[in-house]
Chain A
Amino acid sequence: GAVVSQHPSRVICKSGTSVKIECRSLDFQATTMFWYRQFPKQSLMLMATSNEGSKATYEQGVEKDKFLINHASLTLSTLTVTSAHPEDSSFYICSAPSLDRQITYGYTFGSGTRLTVV
């Protein structure tokens, strides 16, 4: 099946700095990727849909200037958390459409990035 690689797996940054998280589709092209956020013991919350070559679509309540998404190629989408604050500390996960024909309209998820803002 398709593999989605997410990097870094864990990052600690100082308050006020920016952090970039990468999501790569390995051996396949993904024109669409999704970014999720997950707080401890809570479910995944969809943040935005990343579209190759065009602007991302953000879910209601998600600040687009805070969470910058770039999908410049068919295999890479990035999420940049700008001017990070402790409340941005969370688990961020990306996903891309699965190429496994057995999973009709299904998605493959990255392994996640644990962001801690201190």
Chain B
Amino acid sequence: DAKTTQPPSMDCAEGRAANLPCNHSTISGNEYVYWYRQIHSQGPQYIIHGLKNNETNEMASLIITEDRKSSTLILPHATLRDTAVYYCIVRFPGTYKYIFGTGTRLKVLA
């Protein structure tokens, strides 16, 4: 089954770029990679998603390797409010069910 692997925690200085890696080596060819974040005691919030090409929106950038086995979420100028758990997600193949990995607990330091 497709799954994701992320480092359990990371620290980042305020104003610097936060680069959060994710391994999804078993992802199938037509499955998207989604990134969500969860601030304490809230529901997950959508950040960005991608299939093959790199993507950018107002919140973040997503870099996907050519073999699609890994990706990196980039928060270009991290703020204290970006402190959260970040989840890299793929779906169960052939379904609409998300597989949540353990996520990365990002702490932005003042």
Beta-carbon contact of B91 and A93 below 8 Å: no
**Contact A112 B46, CB 8 Å, known A43-B87, A43-B102, A46-B97:** no
Are A106 and B43 in contact, with the CB atoms below 8 A?
Answer: no
* Chain B residue at smallest Cβ distance from A9: B41
Which of A104, A109, A111 counts the most B-chain CB atoms under 10 A from its CB? Answer: A109
Chain B contact patch, size range: 20 to 34
By a CB distance below 8 angstroms, the chain B residues around A110 are 43
Contacts of A44 in B (CB 8 A): 44, 87, 100
Interface residues of B: mostly helix, strand, loop or mixed? Answer: loop
CB pair A112 B32 closer than 8 Å: no
Q: Is the CB of B43 within 8 A of A34?
A: no
Contact status B97-A111, CB under 8 Å: no
Contact flag A91-B100 (CB < 8 Å), given A43-B87, A103-B46, A103-B49: no
Query: A28 within 8 Å of B by Cβ?
Result: no
Say yes or no: A112-B41 contact (C-beta < 8 A), given A98-B46, A105-B91, A106-B46. yes
Question: How many Å lie between the Cα of A63 and that of B87 in the bound state?
Answer: 26
Chain A residue contacts of B97, Cβ below 8 A: 34, 46, 49
Could you list which residues of chain A lie within 8 angstroms of chain B, going by C-beta atoms? 1, 4, 6, 32, 34, 36, 43-46, 49, 91, 93, 95, 97-98, 103-112, 114
Interface, chain B (partner A; CB < 8 A)? 32, 34, 36, 41-46, 49, 51, 87, 91, 96-98, 100-103
Can you identify 10 A-B contacts, CB atoms within 8 angstroms?
Answer: A4-B43, A43-B101, A95-B43, A95-B98, A104-B32, A105-B96, A111-B42, A111-B43, A112-B41, A112-B43
